[in-house]
């Protein structure tokens, strides 16, 4: 599966495929699909996806045990980023449809590009 994404990434030309940094990811993925649960004081495991700076908090210990990785996002390494793994496996959004392949690739490319807050090309 990962290989297919890498191939698609190359086909779609990396610099343009992630569009405009956090704002794009947020309006395409987090706002419509995640923040009804992942916001505010009671966000599951403190994972609040409403602001860029929240993405860098260390998630709870059980997540580390589950995935073996320590961060929600590892810049440049989507395959070690818990957020990508959850979406790719279809576990998130919880109770909802799996994200479209296009959106999953968008998230992948954004993390691969260093998960920038703003468009930096
Ligand atoms: C209907 C509510 C809901 C929606 C929508 C939702 N989540 Fe979650 N999310 C949860 C809950 C509840 C947990 C805690 C699950 C657990 O402890 O097993 C969770 C956990 C997580 C985790 C940590 C993994 C884990 O196993 O605990 C990540 C990462 C995550 N969500 C990302 C997302 C992303 C990204 C989206 C949008 C694409 C999303 N979630 C949409 C409710 C939701």
Is residue 121, in this structure, part of any structural domain at all?
A: no
Residue 96: CB atoms within 10 Å: 13
Is residue 99, in this structure, part of any structural domain at all?
A: yes
pTM: 0.85
Total domains present in the chain: 1
CA of 121 to the centre of ligand 1 (A): 31
Is residue 41, in this structure, part of any structural domain at all?
A: yes
What are the tens digits of pLDDT across the range 21-72?
Answer: 999 999 999 999 999 999 998 898 889 999 999 999 766 666 666 777 778 9
Range of the domain at 87: 2-13+20-112
Ligand 1 is surrounded, with C-beta below 6 A, by 29, 33-34, 36-38, 44-45, 47, 63, 66, 72, 82-83, 86-87, 92-96, 99
Is residue 33, in this structure, part of any structural domain at all?
A: yes
In whole angstroms, what is the distance from residue 9 CA to residue 54 CA? 27
Is residue 51, in this structure, part of any structural domain at all?
A: yes
Burial class (CB in 10 A: 0-12, 13-18, 19+), 1: exposed
Q: What is the DSSP letter of 30?
A: I
In whole angstroms, what is the distance from residue 22 CA to residue 80 CA? 19
CA of 48 to the centre of ligand 1 (A): 10
């Amino acid at each position: 599966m990962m290989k297919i994404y890498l191939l698609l990434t190359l086909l779609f030309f990396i610099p343009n495929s992630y569009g405009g940094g956090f704002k794009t990811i947020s309006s395409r993925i987090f706002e419509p699909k995640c923040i009804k649960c992942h916001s505010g004081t009671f966000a599951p495991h403190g994972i609040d996806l409403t602001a860029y700076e929240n993405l860098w908090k260390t998630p709870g210990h059980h997540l580390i045990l589950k995935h073996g990785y320590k961060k929600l996002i590892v810049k440049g390494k989507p395959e070690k980023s818990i957020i990508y793994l959850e979406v790719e496996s279809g576990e998130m959004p919880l109770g909802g449809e799996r994200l479209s392949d296009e959106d999953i690739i968008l998230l992948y490319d954004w993390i691969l590009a260093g998960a920038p807050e703003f468009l930096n090309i």
